[in-house]
Amino acid sequence: MHLPQTYMDEVDFSNPDYYINRELSWLEFNNRVLEEACDPHQPLLERLKFACIFTSNLDEFFEIRLAGIKQQIENELSDVAPDGLTAQEIFAAVRKRVLELLKIQYDLWRNELAPQLAEAGIRVLTAEDLSEEDKTWATQYYTEEVFPVLTPLAIDPSHPFPQLLNKSHNLIVLLRRPDIPGELVYAIVQMPRVLPRLVRLPRPEVDDQPRQHHFLPLRSLVSMNVETLFPGLVVDSSHSFRITRNSDLYIDDEEAENLLRSIMDELRKRNRGNAVRLELDPGTPPEIQHLLMEHFHLAPHDLYINDGPLTFMHLMPITGIDAPHLKDKPFVPARPRNLPPDADIFEITRRQDVLLHHPYESFNPVVEFLTRAAIDPNVLAIKMTLYRTSGDSPIVRALMTASENGKQVTALVEVKARFDEANNIAWARKMEEAGVHVVYGIVGLKTHCKMMLVVRRDDGKLRHYAHLGTGNYHPSTARIYTDLGLLTSNREITAEVAALFNTLTGLAEYQGGEGLLLVAPFNLAERMRELIARETELARSGRPARIFVKVNSLVDEEMIQALYEASRAGVKVDLVVRGICCLRPGIPGVSDNIRVISIVGRFLEHSRIFFFNNDGGEPQLYLGSADWMPRNLYRRVEVVFPVLDAKIRTRITEEIIPAFLSDCVKARQLQPDGHYKRLHPAEGQKPRQAQLFFREIARKQAGQIITQQAEHGTQPNSFKLTPMTTPAKARD
């Protein structure tokens, strides 16, 4: 096979033009979330929910990523990203793009969402919108429920500027002393977090008419009555503002004598980190803007004027209104195909591996697996990793029950799971009190893998049963995140899982370098590069070669370069990357055999799948917890596991992967310039939507017959693994 001349040329993979900036790529992902809010085909409250998610995502971006960029600038670090941009250039580009996205969001609110909500009887009112009856009720509510909780904080030489919490909602009040003409006094009123941000106004229910849902923002209610907090002073004006602070935890594991105590200390500081963003209402006087920026050590480029809700997160309660006609059709996960309700999970898992596809298939079998193990007299031990879950989780209760039943129970809890640290510490201590042996992570690494091991006596012999997955052991998020899990009693796999648990809890050296599991930081990156290199060599020798990878993020330079080499050799590469993708497709002679799509829909795409054609013989297929980012490959404990069962492999390669590749409703294709174009059906092609296809399969499993009109979009009965050369068309 003779390669085109462009492939024969030497390529310098350090060329900055070959990489997309990480931060800008993330903003494009959040833009795709915002596109869902802008989509008129979405139910109205779902559109509002996506607008709120956009804001939540952006908050975390400022708290973590932009905070880090600002630190680089302040410390005058000269590091340059792979795309060639300096920290100053990244900051400027990020601000420009954020302002563009915020304009789209607030225009959407004013021109579409707010008017359409009002038509549906849902209104967010201002003080000027209130009737006299409303004002009377609101004043009484303020007096009884709000005023007793408020604390006015003056700002003067004897009252320094108060310490305001991260993302807290505040009023700055401009006051005058009647007895001293011309003297101004400033004060701060923080909106207590114990109070709802939206106050529901009473509205009578009228027969044959839609129920009215009218809300008054808490800040408006306090502003209306703010003079009650300052008797003897004249209120000149009040203005809302919100501060976002650096929320990353700074823990030197090598120096931390007690990791748990160090994390708790850092959590106390999180709400008081350096400010990175100031959000203000329009019309805030320049002198107040200057006062706030000066106090928080911020510059004009850190200031954002929000012409609408100060933050859309305050509108999230509206999405919980009981209005089915304004929401997605309810979806109930199906029971997995080969796990009937009264099935003996251990017996079935002894006979065959079981694939679980969440949220289309219920997470309950995972809970049942653990709950059954907790009370089964034949079960001797349970070991489990926990990255995120909830304090009232049946997972936690089952582990405590198992311990109380005399079983050896070990839970490896990651207390550095971002923004869940405090919750994890709280329920981990409850487990310790119940006798569970809790291990708080590993020095220098985050334990991000998802695995559970049960040791059971079967017919006089000990047998291992394992659950391995791509998502957290969190029953709530399992209803909205797409993940894959595997129940198996395969002796080779379970033996390696047992050995890995011993490594994590006993600090033994990992011995599974050439085993079935690919484990970060030990061998995952190296083995993945070997699999890519094998496809590359197959293509160079003229044999079938293909790679499919589905991850949340693709950032690692070495992985990107390996994919570039594969593309240059003629390997057809399909990437489904939900979020950040620093690989630039479509570069002649470098990445023109690589196609990248991102799917953003009703559920958050979270599963990771790795497919290597292996000369068209027996393809190698892996699932796991790891994205292709340096942190996942080198600074976390991750597990990627093989799919060995032929039926499961067929289901993934002939049903699941083709569904992603054929999506032309919720998929966007990455362009060489770093932007994404939404796909649409080619002429004569039916609309195909992967998440809807999986929901239909689940409904049929549950015995529910639906029509194509039940939800927006239609689906073919089945997919075939279509070649990359016939993709859906991108919409400009």
Q: Which residues are catalytic?
A: 448
d(CA 384, CA 6) in angstroms, rounded, equals 50
Q: How many CB atoms lie within 10 A of CB 521?
A: 17
SS3 category, 105: helix
Decide if 608 contacts 575 (C-beta within 8 A).
no
Assess whether the previous peptide bond of 630 is cis (omega < 30° from 0). no
> Residues with Cβ < 8 Å from 134, sequence gap 6 or more?
125, 201, 216
Whole-angstrom distance between the N-terminal and C-terminal Cα of the chain? 36
d(CA 409, CA 447) in angstroms, rounded, equals 18
Assess whether the previous peptide bond of 285 is cis (omega < 30° from 0). no
What does residue 497 show for φ and ψ, rounded to 5 degrees? -60, -45
Residue with tokens 């709120």: 52
Q: Give the C-alpha distances (Å, rounded to integers) separating 489 from 31, 335, 354, 606.
A: 43, 20, 10, 25
- Which element (helix H / strand E) includes 24? helix 22-38
> Residues with Cβ < 8 Å from 63, sequence gap 6 or more?
166, 244, 245, 246, 247, 248, 276
Q: Which residues of 558-578 are buried (b: 16+ CB within 10 A; e: fewer)?
A: ebbbbbbbbbbbbbbbbbbbb
d(CA 117, CA 201) in angstroms, rounded, equals 16
d(CA 709, CA 680) in angstroms, rounded, equals 19
Q: CA 322, 103, 605, 552 torsion: positive or negative? A: negative
SS3 category, 113: helix
d(CA 530, CA 537) in angstroms, rounded, equals 10
Q: Give the C-alpha distances (Å, rounded to integers) separating 5 from 11, 136, 291, 442, 541.
A: 12, 80, 62, 50, 17
Decide if 334 contacts 343 (C-beta within 8 A).
no
- Which element (helix H / strand E) includes 217? strand 213-217
